Structure 1
Amino acid sequence: MPPPQMMGIYPADSVVEVAQSLPIDPLAQGTAELLAGDVEYRIHLILQEAKKFMTHGKRRTLLPEDVEFAMEALNVEPVLIPPRPLPLPQFQAIPIPSSSSHPQNLYHAPDDEIDFASYLKQPLPAGVASSGGVKWKAHWLAVEGVQPAIPENPTPVQRAGPSRPPVASTSLRPQARAHLPQELQLYFTRLTTALVPPSPTSPETEPERHRVAALASLRTDVAVAGILVYVVKWISESIGKCLMAPTGTIGHLVDAVDALMSNESLFVEPYMHQLLPPLLSIILTVPLGPHPPSSSSSQPSPYDLRLQASNILGKIAEKYGKSYAGLLPRLVSTLTKALYSPPFPSPLGASNPPAGRYEGALLALSYLGSQTVRSAVWGKAGDGIRRIDDLAGTLYTDAGKKKNLMIRALILIRSKPSDQPAPQVNLDEIADLFGPNLANALNKKLWTASELLRLRREELQGGLADSEGDGEAEGDEMDVDARA
């Protein structure tokens, strides 16, 4: 029978080090964990008793004598005995020059100067001296501003702190290993390992074939239901950890969410609260992906990732929006708040504010349905589009040389039907009503421009307000052309 897993915070390595410094036999396997749990329990007991003395003294600060009293009350011999009562610092007065007849003083607690040469020659306290492994040792902290590479000084990697893994661990936790059969544990490990290859892959490589097979299993296999709760948790944790990882890794995780939602044999509804935050993080997080951005053509752009996540968000809203009345309003409220929030400085030091949040909000709102587009984006007589066009002019520089992705996400009308000729539209009118950036984007989409003008004229004439029953028919004409 394996030893019980201790869930405390006191490290078992400290128990092992203390045992190695004492003349005793080596600890058996699992003994250090049990002793660490017992030490943590006794520390909690002493602190709980010390808190009683602090409360009885009508104080909010725990003092060393409170711990000493608690150890005496519990019949525990203290290791270090501080002087009692503790000496109080004597305040000294510094006269301040003043023109008035009354002298003014500034009181402060002086800092005692310690001579290290004499201090290090003093014997150690009795409790410390009797314990093994505690002693004074001198070493160089820095030589001419540079830390020498000696064991006592931390390495550059240790000073930088633990590196955050790109994805969550593919190994199951002890609780899951205790409940799942060996076959499902192996299935979970193989599945999660194949979904996110360790390095970029091309279509003909072995890791890519494994990833495609894992996506197919996630999309059609009934056995995923046995590990569904662990797969959902792994996906949500992985997306939260790799928002600044290579965009290919984020794209692989979005593909996994899409495949999971496409599996009709799974009951994913109870896990929506775990899948929606990662999708919204991809849609609204700035910056998304590594910095500096990767120039590789095999890596998807942040715009493509937001587009794919918005598509999945629209499927979720369409599938579960009728069952949960508050789902769609909460999504619309979150996205609208992000869309109409003021620009903020670039966290990467760019000259222009980042536009990714507004691109993602527009794409996500467009996939939530025509009525959402009409209320959250169109506004009253197209005023919302005018504001977005002005915002796009502020966020982007040299819009004529590169595609304005925010205006690209703003193309709301479906592509021209094939049986209708292209109408004649005055783009100057589009520029006056909605803004020059949108007019430039609609230069080759004259049918879309004519529909925007038609909708605005009808609303200004009161057509939309009078024909409330025809709102759905007209609203069906509004859609997003994400491939524009």
Structure 2
Amino acid sequence: MSIVAKETIEVIAQSIGISNLSEDVALTLAPDVEFRMRQIMQEAIKCMRHSKRTTLTTDDVDGALNLTNVEPIYGFASGGALQFKRAIGHRDLFYVDDKDIDFKDVIEAPLPKAPLDTAVICHWLAIEGVQPAIPENAPLEVIAPPSDGKIIEQNDGFPVDIKLPVKHVLSRELQLYFDKITDLTVRRSDSALFKEALVSLATDSGLHPLVPYFTYFIADEVARGFK
């Protein structure tokens, strides 16, 4: 006994233009349709598990269709769960309610955000030793190895490496933040603002450019306290 009812086969046949399908043919096709559905869902579950997920998605079903050499389903991806409604007069027949959309509303709607799905794009890095000037390839002067900031001098006949100081530019906001924190620390303030500043120092990852400055400030204050 197939879980696919013969009425379902008849409805599918009518949707593709076959209106005179006999009942015996529908009963014969139902077990084969169930077998094909189980095969597709088993492959889709494999795709889901290989993707380290616990929720089956339409992409898993499309992947299963590709593995079984079946043409994938074309259409628009849905951002939420589909709302199925029961057909009147049919106990086991459901359909998706398609709403009428005004074409003017589609044109005037804001553009959606760019998709964040992982994608692979191929382009020529070089053709016969020549790098094509395309946006995917960075200019040669950009990818050239930077200078290590060292000057080699001769000292009594032996080369000496002198490392030049590194320029570090801070934004105006970080400078004001650093000045405010150091001022509150020197004044040993117990205000709520100082406590919030300590929480910010412990959790805000955007303050990493200030780490060497705070390190130098702490070392200077500790050395001054021992004097």
Same fold (TM over 0.5): no
Name the TM-score, length of structure 2 as normaliser.
0.33
Flag the structure with higher strand content: 2
Which is helix-richer, 1 or 2?
Answer: 1
TM-score, length-normalised on structure 1?
Answer: 0.16
